[in-house]
Structures are given as C-alpha cells and as structure tokens.
Chains A and B, each alone.
Chain A
Amino acid sequence: MKLLNLELAWKYVIGRRRAMTMSLFGIVLGIAFFVVTQAQTSGFEAFFVKTILGTNGAIKISDRFQDMDGTVSVSSVNGKTRFHLNSRENARYIEGISNPRLLRKALNQFPQITGISEILEGTGSLSGISRSQSIEIHGIKIKDHIMVSDLEDQIIRGELNEFNLNPMSILVGSRIAQRLMLKIGDRVTLNGGTGNLQLRVAGLFETGVSQIDKHRAYLHLNTAKAFLGKRFSGSILQLSVKDPTRAPQISAQIQETINHRTVSWQERERVWLDVFKALRISSAITVSSILLLSGLGIFNVFAIMVIEKTRDIAILRSMGFKPFDASAVFLWQGAIVLTVGITLGIIVGLLSTYAISQIPLRIRGIFSTDSFMVNWDSSHYYSAILIAIVFVSIASWIPARRAARIEPAKIIRETL
C-alpha cells in the first residue's frame, strides 16, 4: 500500500518532468554550492590553523601571576552550594615562567599534553655581509621543540641535525634569509642583548606565515639565555595537546593549577578565527538562500499540482484512499525530488570541490599556498543535506496537508 502511494508519486513526478527538473536543478545547485563554499572557506581556515599549530603550538604558558584578590570562594552554610569567582584584574604579573623544571613536572600530570618546549623570546639585530635586520629570537631545545611544532617539516634548506650539533648555529626565517641574502653555512652577527654573537646559519625555515618568516630566528636555548642575559628567568612554555580543539579547556585548567598566564591557540588567533567564521557563516547563509529558493520552487510546483490534481485526489478518495494517502502521494514526490537532488548535488559538489582545489592561487600572508585550499569535511555534506531536507520537507508538507483536507464530494460536485 505504501508502495502504491510511492508509485503514484513517481508517476506524477514523471508527468511533470519539466517543472520537477527545474526544482531538482535548484536543489542540486544549492547543495553543490553549499559544499563548495564551505570546503573553500573552511579549507583556508583549516590550513591556517594547521600552520599556526605547527608553528606556535596549541598552548603557550607565559607570565606567572600572583592572585591578589581576584579569586573569591564562598560556600553556603550547609556546604552544598559553592561559588568560585575568578578575576585577574588585580593580579600581579611577573615576566616569564618561574622554575621551568617544576612546571614541567606539574604539566606532566596532564595526560592531554603531548609535548612541552621551553622557549626564551627576545629581540636582536641580525647582520649578514651587507645588510642587517631586527629579528625575534626564539631560544629553543630542538628535541623538545619538534615535539610541539612542525619545525622539522618547515626546514627548506639545511639540516636540523646541523643546528642540533652546533650551539652557535641559527635557524633563520626564509624571508630574513632572502633579505639578508643568506645561505647555509654563512656566518652572521647577532647584535643586542649582552653584546655580539657570531653564529653560523644551519638552516632556513618557512612556516607560511609571512610575519614569522620575516622576523623569527631560532637559537639554542642556552645560547639565547646567555645572549639575552636571562639565565634563570623570562622563558615561556609552548605545549602541544592530543586534541587541539580542547585547548581552551585544558589551558584554563593549567592556569588554575600553576598560576601562570596560559593562552590557547583559539584565544591567541581569535581575530583570524572570527574572520574565517564570519566568512563561513556568510557563505552558508548566501548559499542556503539558493536552497530556500529551490524549496519555494518546489512549494510552488506542488501547490499548483494539488490544485490541478484536486479531482484526482477526490476520485482516489472515492476509491478508498484515505486523507493520509493523499498527503503521502505529495510527500513521496518531495522525497523523490529530494533524494535525486541530494545524490546529484553531492556528486556535483564533490567534483566541483576537486576542480577548485586544482586552481592555481598564490597567497603569501597569514599563510602561504600555491593553490586553492579545500577542506574535505563530511560535515559540510551533512549540513547541506539537512538544510535541503528542511526546506523541501516544508515545501512538500504544506501542499500535502492541503491535499489531505480535500472533501471528495464537494470537489466532484463542483467539477460536474
């Protein structure tokens, strides 16, 4: 019986091929555009996040603070209700982490943390043969740092092992090397801090983030400490975690535990992440309007069809079809159009996304890429399908309800 309603629906769909094809076209385009735009915007976002995580890590622990009166804990008399208010407004900050070894021990208690790298940050002026440039010094222990970054993959010239073996060597950002015309093995002078240092270029790295590639250089931690005159303080910790999406929660726990300013990558890169989010939502809204329009198209087709088929519905009712059957015929038509639309929409979306990923596009800025970035995420497809289902269901349900309310005697009487 259910199949009979489906068969009738199929016959009606076939009978109105042209109108149904137009509606179908709208759904296919809507789903495909939705998938493609989401793949693009989230593709660039995912690439940016990967670059940022691979360069600056998931969490950074910097200054120690003393909680002067920012935390207030209140318990009710029976002890059942507790309030714990945190405020860092009046906290006193002391630059850098204190006692890195103890902190490491404490951080090892967090199972989510997969790597800890101590970094000493400072500034200096790097001089090549003919030019000099101010740089941001990052003193690192290479074995620790490759656990919290993609530095190994970011080396474009030279060897990390060379850097590891020579404490008086330096890893230089690609744009610095370009500006100072540096090659592997060149001698450079680092000025500032406590004096001058003669260093050998062991490698060039490229993160894709131009601000980093233009200004950052890596030194051995002990060399940096000596150069900057901060043998026992001033460093920060960079952490990697198992699930970077949970970094805000983990960093909040760490901050509570060790009383050091702890910032997740989401907080650090909030501006860019908000830009990507706005782009993603904006494109989703724009593309959803295509689906909405196709939904309206389907509504229009079905509404006209209910009027045209009023007599058919009345005659079906006279044969023993129930009001539910009348509405089911129209709901099935919606389901047929939706199923075909979703199938074709996904195929077109997949092919279009692939085609777009092959378009050459050179970007150098917040990240670097030579082709369109796309993100192959099934959630885009689920979202597009869900939106299409909602719009088409509403578009079919309203005429279907109207079909169910048709009074057969009245319609037949009026037709004669």
Chain B
Amino acid sequence: MSIQYRKKALLEAKNLHHSFVEGETITKVLKGVSLEIRAGETTAISGPSGCGKSTLLYLLGLLDRPDTGEIFLHGKEVSQTDDSTRTNLRNHSIGFVFQFHFLIKELSVIENVALPIRKAGISKEIAKSRALTALTRLGMESKANRFANKLSGGEQQRVAIARAIANSPSLILADEPTGNLDSANSENVFTLLDNLARQENLGVLLVTHNPELAQRCSKKINIRDGLII
C-alpha cells in the first residue's frame, strides 16, 4: 500500500462515507463528511442522536474503516492501512476518552494509566513514572494506588483523560466525555481538555450534546443526517 504525504492539518478527513448493514437493511450513517483537526485546537462535533457523530469519531480514531473516503493523520493516508499499523497508530498517536470512563476495575489507577505506555514497550517502572506525571497534571496523584472503581465519577473521568494523554498522543478523541457528569465535573473535564490542547499542542476532537461546551471550542462542526451542515 502506498502512503501519501501531505503537509496540512494534524488530522484530515475527506469525503467519508460509512454505512451499517443489519440483515438486508443498509443504513447510511455518513454521507460524505470532510473535516480538518489542527494541533492546539479543540474541535466540537455536535448534532442530534444517531446523526453519525460517534461513528465519525471511531473512523477518525481508526477503530473502524470507512466505506469510502480518506483519512490523513500527520499527512499520511491511514484509512486503508493494515490492522497492525492502525493498532500502532492508536497506541502512539491517539488517545480516547469515552462517555463512561471504561477503566479496568481489577487494576489500580496508576496501572490503568500506565497501560498504553507499557503497550508501547516501555518498562514497567518508566511507564509508572510517566503515568504518575499524567495523573499529577490532572490532580489525581494522591489516588494513584486506589482501585478505579473506588473513585467518584468525576475522578474516574479524570483518570480516563490521564490514560488518554499518558503515551503523549498528538490527538485526543473524546466521545461525550462530560455526558455522564454533573455540571461542576463537566466544567472541570472540559477545562482539562481545553488546557491540554493549548499547552501540549494537541488536537482535541470532542463529540458533545452540550451546546455551551461546543460554543467554547475553537471550532464547531454540526452534523445532521450524515452530513456536515
């Protein structure tokens, strides 16, 4: 497979189409979506339920493949690369934050955060040290050795953000990260992501239903019926 190089945005999607097949029913979810994510910016994707926001996020995060269209990460076309390359890119370049924290309850906070670093082949000691740094940045260092399920919802989401940034990715993809939090915790989480984008020069793509949060992002994309409006 040839890899095309472009000198543009951190992430660029061009004319993405995606559909789900259930039995004989084909549902077209994305009907030609194009967008750009730049480093240091927070981009919000909003729209009604079922419009394809999350699907777009998973395509951009290389968890799924588009039917047609192209995705460029750091200028390289990645939508049709092999599974191994996509897995490595997810580990090194992309951090995910979901609506639910999705922490592994059998692991302590620091072990959860250290997972992507250790997956990258870093030794356990260094990974833990880097995980602690990430937790410190999110004010969670005092809870490092607790089990994830012993934390409050807001704390768990902060740990999930720490895990997303632990391996120093260039892109954070957050799927309604405040959807399950009260307003105070929502504000905290958004501020954290926004600060990370600015201070670390990360690209942050945020799917949200919250119009206030969307309004505060550097860029806002509205999707309806599989198209950007």
To the question of whether A and B form a pair in one complex, the answer is yes
Tell me, yes or no, whether A14 is within 8 Å of chain B by CB: yes
- From residue 285 to 338 of chain A, which have CB atoms closer than 8 A to chain B? 311-312, 314-323, 325
In the complex with contacts A322-B84, A413-B58, A317-B63 CB distance below 8 A = yes
Bound-state CA distance A316–B116 (Å) is 8
A319-B176 in contact (CB<8A): no
- A318–B84 CB distance below 8 A: no
Instruction: Name the CB-closest residue of A to B58.
Output: A409
How many angstroms from the CA of A312 to the CA of B55 in the assembled complex?
19
Indicate if the CB atoms of B91 and A413 lie closer than 8 Å.
no
Is A416 a contact of B98 with CB atoms below 8 Å?
yes
Which residues on the B side are within 8 Å of A4 (C-beta)? 115, 118-119
A416, B91: Cβ atoms closer than 8 Å: no
Contact indicator per residue, chain B 196-219, by CB within 8 Å of chain A (1) or not (0): 000000000000000000000000
Q: Determine if B104 and A321 form an interchain contact, defined as CB atoms under 8 angstroms apart.
A: no
Nearest CB in chain A to that of B176: its residue: A416
B24 interface contact, C-beta 8 A:
no
CA distance A311 to B106 in the complex (A): 13
Given A320-B116, A322-B87, A416-B175, A315–B61 Cβ distance below 8 Å?
A: no
Using Cβ atoms and an 8 Å threshold, which residues of chain A touch B190? none
Chain B residue numbers with a CB within 8 Å of A317 are 63, 87, 90
Would you give the 0/1 interface string for A68-109, flagging 1 where the beta carbon is closer than 8 Å to chain B?
Answer: 000000000000000000000000000000000000000000
* Interface range on chain A (Cβ under 8 Å from partner): 20 to 34
CA distance A171 to B101 in the complex (A): 89
A15 neighbours in B (Cβ, 8 Å): 105-106
B49-74 interface with A by 8 A CB criterion: 54-55, 58, 61, 63-64
- The answer to whether the Cβ of A249 comes within 8 Å of any Cβ in the partner chain is no
Q: Give min CB distance, B87 to chain A, whole Å.
A: 5
Q: Mark A1-29, 1 if CB is under 8 A from B, else 0.
A: 10110001001101100000000000000
Residues from chain B with Cβ under 8 Å of A378 in the complex:
none
A408 within 8 A of B: yes
User: How far apart sit A397 and B206, CA to CA, in the bound complex (Å)?
Assistant: 38
Task: Let me know if B54 and A413 touch, CB within 8 A.
Answer: yes
What per-residue 1/0 map shows which CB atoms of B155-166 lie under 8 Å from chain A?
Answer: 000000001000
Contacting pair A412 B104 (CB below 8 A): no
Chain A residue with the shortest CB-CB distance to B166: A319
CA distance A415 to B83 in the complex (A): 23
Residues facing A in B113-150 (CB within 8 A) are 115-116, 118-121, 124
Q: Is residue B5 within 8 Å, beta carbon to beta carbon, of the partner chain?
A: no
* A354 to B71 Cα, complex, angstroms: 69
Q: Determine whether the beta carbon of B63 is less than 8 Å from that of A318.
A: yes
CA distance A312 to B100 in the complex (A): 12
Contact of A318 with B61 in the complex, beta carbons under 8 Å: yes
Total B residues in contact with A, Cβ cutoff 8 Å:
33
Chain B residues whose CB sits within 8 angstroms of the CB of A323 once the complex forms: 83
Chain A window 382-416, contacts with chain B (Cβ cutoff 8 Å), 1 for yes, 0 for no: 00000000000000000000000001110011011
Q: How many whole Å from B223's CB to the nearest CB in chain A? A: 16
Residues of A within 8 Å of B120, CB to CB, are 320
Q: B91 — which chain A residues lie within 8 A by C-beta? A: 319-320
B229 shortest CB reach to chain A, Å: 23
The reply to whether B58 and A412 form a contact with Cβ atoms under 8 Å apart is: yes
**B31 at interface (Cβ–Cβ under 8 A)?**
no
Residues of B with C-beta under 8 A to A407 = 64
Q: Please name all residues of chain B whose beta carbon is closer than 8 Å to the beta carbon of A3 when the two chains form the complex.
A: 124
Taking a contact as CB atoms closer than 8 A, the residue among A11, A12, A312, A319 that contacts B119 in the complex is A319
Within 8 A of A (CB), among B24-60: 54-55, 58
Q: Say yes or no: B87 contacts A316, CB within 8 Å.
A: no
A320-B119, A321-B119, A408-B63 known; A416-B100 Cβ under 8 A: yes
A283, B99: Cα distance in complex, Å: 56
A416 and B121 in contact, given A14-B106, A319-B91 (Cβ under 8 angstroms): no
Q: How far is the CA of A319 from the CA of B102 in the complex (A)?
A: 12
| Extra 8 A-B pairs, beta carbons < 8 Å, given A11-B106, A416-B98 | A11-B107, A315-B96, A316-B115, A317-B87, A318-B61, A320-B116, A321-B87, A409-B64
Q: Can you list 26 A-B pairs, Cβ within 8 angstroms, ordered by A? A: A4-B118, A4-B119, A11-B104, A15-B106, A312-B104, A315-B96, A316-B115, A318-B63, A318-B90, A318-B96, A319-B90, A320-B87, A320-B91, A320-B92, A321-B119, A322-B83, A409-B58, A409-B63, A409-B64, A412-B63, A412-B98, A412-B102, A413-B55, A416-B54, A416-B100, A416-B175
What residues of chain B have their CB less than 8 Å away from a CB belonging to chain A? 54-55, 58, 61, 63-64, 83-84, 87-88, 90-92, 96, 98-100, 102, 104-107, 111, 115-116, 118-121, 124, 163, 175-176
